[in-house]
Amino acid sequence: MNLDAKAREAIVAQRFTSGVPLSQLDDEESEPGHVIVSATSSDTTIYGTSSTMLETYGWMLQPSTMTVLGEPRHSLAYHFTPPTEIGSDLAKWSGATDWVHENLDHSHASEPLSLQDLQIHLQNFLSLYESKLEADVYGRFSRLLPILLDPDEYDEEDKLPDPTSFRSMLDFLVEHPYLDVPRLNVSRQGHFKLSWRKSENELTTLEYRPDRMIDWLVFAPPARGSRSPQRAAGESAVSEILNILKVQNALAWMRREQ
């Protein structure tokens, strides 16, 4: 860590404790998604702006993009719990100095995340959405995650669950609370997948890729004058998926009953 970084970190820490939100810092200091470590002899605190707090926490699940003080610190990805404080504009993690320093000093960049690590982190990440998701969706996912990510059950040939896919899926559900409670699974590529089924010929699955695209599949009843059910699949940007579902006549039955 160079002096500039230390100085900046001290400024941010001071402003945090004095109540100045990070969003009011200048651009250089409040670089989006930046995580800042403040270490003293007795404790260590990590700050992140809340506008990017979830992003930041997501980064902790992805060592390849984790940034601490401008440098990748992959080992951090293994050890963080949810923020100890979440303000309106700030997230704050606190921990014992030795504990964090040990991880900072002994980077395990070459070690892949284990399924058990991911299970813990994704459950913690889900808990950040408790107040945003519909209660029944949150409850169902809380029950399903441990089953889906059970190391004894997870097919070792499958790719590990992708945290970015998980976040994209949760954000989608937050934006569309009128959708009925979906079923949840993880694809062989590690992408989280939601599905809704009303009948044999009424099925929608949305698979959230980490590049913000969705692989979708829709089964619909036969069109007028036809005996064959309609089946379509494709990929679409998250922002476009509702239009797809409307065109496929799926959105209407995917809604919660009034």
The DSSP code sequence of 74-121 is GGGGGT--S-SEE-SSEEEEEEEHHHHHHHHHS--TTSPPPHHHHHHH
Smallest gap from Cβ 195 to other proteins, in A, equals: 6
202, exposed or middle or buried, with CB in 10 Å at 0-12, 13-18, 19+? Answer: middle
User: Alpha-carbon distance 232 to 158, whole Å?
Assistant: 25
Backbone phi, then psi, for 152, in 5-degree steps? Answer: -80, -15
User: Alpha-carbon distance 106 to 22, whole Å?
Assistant: 29
Q: In terms of CB distance, is 143 or 246 closer to other proteins? A: 143
Q: How many helical (H) and strand (E) elements, i.e. helices and strands, does the chain have?
A: 8, 9
Q: In terms of CB distance, is 45 or 187 closer to other proteins? A: 187
Smallest gap from Cβ 123 to other proteins, in A, equals: 15
Which residue in 29, 23, 24 sits closest to 11, CA to CA?
Answer: 29
Q: In terms of CB distance, is 26 or 156 closer to other proteins? A: 156
Smallest gap from Cβ 217 to other proteins, in A, equals: 5
Smallest gap from Cβ 215 to other proteins, in A, equals: 7
The DSSP bridge pattern shows strands 183-186 and 90-96 to be unpaired
Smallest gap from Cβ 184 to other proteins, in A, equals: 8
Smallest gap from Cβ 216 to other proteins, in A, equals: 9
User: Alpha-carbon distance 121 to 60, whole Å?
Assistant: 9
Q: In terms of CB distance, is 50 or 205 closer to other proteins? A: 205
Smallest gap from Cβ 231 to other proteins, in A, equals: 5
Q: In terms of CB distance, is 4 or 152 closer to other proteins? A: 152
Residues making contact with other proteins (CB under 8 A) = 143-144, 147-148, 150, 152-155, 157-158, 183-189, 193, 195, 197, 200, 203, 205, 215, 217, 219, 231-233
User: Alpha-carbon distance 102 to 121, whole Å?
Assistant: 20
Q: In terms of CB distance, is 63 or 161 closer to other proteins? A: 161
Q: In terms of CB distance, is 150 or 240 closer to other proteins? A: 150
User: Alpha-carbon distance 16 to 50, whole Å?
Assistant: 12
